[in-house]
């Protein structure tokens, strides 16, 4: 059977700031610029979750996109949407919430929850329409 | 001379929460839902600023869009981008930063700074690609 | 209090064909071209619903966009999404489902359901990203 | 019968420069900046053409969007696409091709070609996704 | 010579339903949900066709995108646009028209029609802006 | 440490024409169609620059996107924006400015300027929203 990638785009809105607690505010401001603003800032994130697998000859699906949407919402989006990435998310604790660290943490949440026979292939995370990161678990 | 509207789109990323300080957290949560999250959340905002005026017969411009961009950045965007709308912006103080209140406050900043002969016509402010407000100063 | 317009974008996917039952297939094909295809075709529709009202001084809302979303879903989207506009929708019965007829029928559904003090201002309905109609109830 | 606006989006790619031939290159560069570049530059333009009229009770159309598309292509796009706005377009001759002058000239081409009973309502012309002008014939 | 991928995006609007004729309506509804609606529904599909090859040192093209557009229209789009994917398309017969089955069938149409020296590299097919599939012929 | 790709999108507007100086105008017109227009035409280009590297355990960055933006602007965009690709750009001299030749020339500019430890991974260059090329340096 042919192997096809299916992608579902989900979104969430969150606050964050970039900083390392062991650094001074001056050092944080120097390295992270406006992103270190003490009182936070925020973004509308868009996340493309891509799963690869064989097309099921009976249903014609790799997987039902409604299931993928639900899985991503329960494992990831419900914890992130309308939250503070530095303060509110247990599985981001002690991480500086750069887009890079965020995409790797999301990967680690999703990869262990993949239905049998399916491979988490790629995540693309947009922080703004012009800034994005891509991770394939390597 | 013909009257033409010119529009410049600008963007900013900010944190906020919806709440009234004189209400309990329970009441705030009841009215504003997830938007009341104590630790904030945030958005990528897009703002369309529309100015109407006669086409200058010499330049063919209503106004130079680079000037409009600079005016909006200095009067509005520099104060909002990578900031907390509840804590960091003097001209939003004591306002609940709903998109409605935000667009009216931006209007009040811009309308008094219009170059002579030009009319601030319309603001459209997107909080997400699916949620927006529009204000014409009435 | 200032009057602000708030807009929520919703979407639905539906099948339809353009035809008049009292015309022959030849006449339908002549007037409506490919859109008359006997076995239907379909679209992803996007609908912008704009409501105007005064900003509530207590909440800072014209209306809660979650309420508007729910109202539009219950009154309109639930009846249209994943349906056939010619066969499945009681309130479109005996109408040729052009985008024009569709936007007027949606208006008639929504205008009577507006919360007190709010005015249904404008509907914009996209049949494709390049083709749209706009209706203000006149 | 209800009055509905229908909009068709068309696009064209063109070269231009902003300059007045009676000014020196220095003066042109001073007023128009990079847009005065002697060797031209160019854009992908998007044009939204909006026509208002009553819904025809027989067809359910204000007008067939295929007809509108063809009318706009023949009257406007065929003359502009893959052309130089300063050199190649008879109806732009002696005009400085700012977006403002361009939208007014397009209006003048289209308004006299409207089918009976239909009103050219609004043109929106995007020079870039962030810069646009709007004209209603006033 | 460098190897470059060139991509052309095309679109088509079609009706379909997901179902297996050997299953009961109940079973189809259970597995495919609203997508099994007996009277069909539909979508605006967007298809990105990517072809890889060496840059021709004479023309600077991998291939003329106008040729690619024409090839895809003749081989694929003309058969799908404003059609019913279950009923009107000989090369989809007896296939359940999921996005996965559709992208594989389109691949099989295109791969045998590639001009000499060019490799069909990747297809991305969007059923909605948030749901897509990707196929590389494996 | 995980390897992540980071992408920054930049844009520029430029004029060009496709032609080979050793060919007659007739031959150029025959091969390149409207793109050979003697008086040029132009586009809004969008360029996605993707860089791969390990996430820095101290900052959580692969690289600061502001640095990437600045590097791309200085090496590429400042030379191309509001310019003529055939006449104004020393590093495109004697190249026919097809999108394919342009993306390869941009790659050659950027690959030698990558900060240590980072790999230029992929360029995607859009000439229009529907036409793009992709290059990975092979």
Neighbouring-strand partners of residue D3: D54
Residue in F41, F44, F81 nearest the CB of D84: F41
Active-site residue identified among D82, D100, D134, D136: D82
Residue in B18, B100, B131 nearest the CB of C55: B100
Q: Does E109 touch chain A (CB under 8 A)?
A: no
Residue in C8, C50, C59 nearest the CB of B130: C8
At D58-91, the pLDDT tens digits run 999 999 999 999 999 999 999 999 999 999 999 9
The pLDDT, as a whole number, for residue C123 is 98
- Total domains in chain E come to 1
At C63-90, the pLDDT tens digits run 999 999 999 999 999 999 999 999 999 9
ipTM of the complex: 0.95
**pLDDT bucket at A5, cuts 50 / 70 / 90:** very high
Q: Which residue of F has its CA nearest to E1?
A: F138
> What distance in Å separates the CA atoms of residue C137 and residue D2, rounded to the nearest whole number?
7
Residue in E101, E131, E133 nearest the CB of A5: E133
Nearest alpha carbon to residue A128 among B8, B13, C15: B13
Instruction: Give A82's contacts in chain B (Cβ within 8 Å).
Output: 34-35, 37, 41
The pLDDT, as a whole number, for residue D122 is 98
CB contact under 8 A, D101 and B5: no
Structural domain range at position E120: 3-135
DSSP label of E75:
I
Q: Which residue of D has its CA nearest to C104?
A: D2
Nearest alpha carbon to residue C89 among C33, C12, C24, C10: C12
**pLDDT bucket at A48, cuts 50 / 70 / 90:** very high
CB-CB contact of E15 with C41 (8 Å) = yes
Instruction: Give F43's contacts in chain D (Cβ within 8 Å).
Output: 13, 42-44
CB pairs under 8 A between A and E: 54
The pLDDT, as a whole number, for residue E126 is 98
Active-site residue identified among B25, B82, B134, B136: B82
* Number of residues written out for chain C: 138
Work out the mean pLDDT of chain E and round it to a whole number: 97
Instruction: Give E99's contacts in chain A (Cβ within 8 Å).
Output: 6
Nearest alpha carbon to residue E80 among E101, E63, E66, E64: E101
Average pLDDT on A57-80 reads 97
Q: Which of D15, D78, D88, D130 to mutate to test the interface with F (most CBs of F within 10 A)?
A: D15
Task: Tell me which residues of E are annotated as active site.
Answer: 35, 82, 127
User: How many CB atoms neighbour CB B23 within 10 A?
Assistant: 15
Q: Does B54 touch chain D (CB under 8 A)?
A: no
> What distance in Å separates the CA atoms of residue D8 and residue D10, rounded to the nearest whole number?
7
Who's near A84: CB < 8 A, 6+ residues apart?
A14, A15, A16, A40, B37, B39, B40, B41
N-terminal to C-terminal alpha carbon distance within chain F = 26
Q: Which of residues 80-99 of D touch F (CB under 8 A)?
A: 81-84, 87-88
The pLDDT, as a whole number, for residue A102 is 98
Q: In percent, how much of chain B has pLDDT > 90?
A: 99
> What distance in Å separates the CA atoms of residue B103 and residue B80, rounded to the nearest whole number?
12
CB contact under 8 A, C44 and E44: yes
Average pLDDT on A79-106 reads 97
CB-CB contact of C17 with C37 (8 Å) = yes
Task: Give the angle subtended at the CA of D35 by the CAs of D31 and D41, to the nearest 5°.
Answer: 165
CB-CB contact of E8 with C49 (8 Å) = no
CB contact under 8 A, B7 and D100: no
Average pLDDT on E73-78 reads 98
CATH of the domain at A61: 3.30.479.10
CB contact under 8 A, A13 and B40: no
- Hunting for tokens 């300080």 — which residue is that? B21
User: How many CB atoms neighbour CB F117 within 10 A?
Assistant: 10
The pLDDT, as a whole number, for residue A35 is 97
CB contact under 8 A, E42 and C16: yes
Residue-level pLDDT, tens digit, chain F, 138 residues? 999 999 999 999 999 999 999 999 999 999 999 999 999 999 999 999 999 999 999 999 999 999 999 999 999 999 999 999 999 999 999 899 999 999 999 999 999 999 999 999 999 999 999 999 999 999
- Touch test E–D: 3 Cβ pairs or more under 8 Å: no
Q: What are phi and psi of E119, to 5 degrees?
A: -115, 125
- Hunting for tokens 């660290």 — which residue is that? A101
> What distance in Å separates the CA atoms of residue F107 and residue F121, rounded to the nearest whole number?
10
**pLDDT bucket at C57, cuts 50 / 70 / 90:** very high
Distances A97 to A27, A92, D112 between C-alpha atoms, Å: 17, 7, 58
Residue in B50, B58, B62 nearest the CB of D100: B62
The pLDDT, as a whole number, for residue C67 is 96
Neighbouring-strand partners of residue D61: none
Q: Which of residues 7-36 of D touch F (CB under 8 A)?
A: 11, 13-16, 34-35
The pLDDT, as a whole number, for residue F3 is 98
The pLDDT, as a whole number, for residue B135 is 98
> What distance in Å separates the CA atoms of residue B2 and residue B133, rounded to the nearest whole number?
28
H helix or E strand, kind and range, residue A51:
strand A41-54
- Respond yes or no: is residue D119 known to be catalytic: no
Alpha-helix residue ranges (DSSP H) falling in B9-77: 25-32, 65-72
H helix or E strand, kind and range, residue F59:
none
At C84-107, the pLDDT tens digits run 999 999 999 989 999 999 999 999
Q: In percent, how much of chain D has pLDDT > 90?
A: 99
Query: Tokens for B84?
Result: 């907390």
pTM score over 0.95? yes
């Amino acid at each position: 059977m042919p192997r096809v990638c299916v992608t579902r785009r989900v979104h969430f809105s969150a606050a964050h700031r970039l900083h390392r607690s062991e650094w001074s505010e001056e050092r944080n401001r120097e390295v992270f610029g406006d992103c270190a603003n003490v009182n936070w800032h925020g973004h509308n994130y868009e996340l493309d979750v891509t799963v690869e697998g064989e097309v099921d000859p009976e249903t014609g699906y790799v997987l039902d996109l409604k299931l993928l949407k639900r899985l991503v919402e329960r494992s990831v989006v419900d914890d992130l949407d309308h939250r503070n990435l530095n303060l509110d998310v247990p599985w981001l604790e002690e991480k500086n919430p750069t887009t890079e660290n965020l995409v790797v943490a999301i990967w680690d949440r999703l990869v262990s929850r993949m239905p049998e026979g399916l491979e988490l292939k790629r995540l693309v995370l947009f922080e703004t329409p012009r800034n994005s990161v891509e991770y394939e678990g390597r």
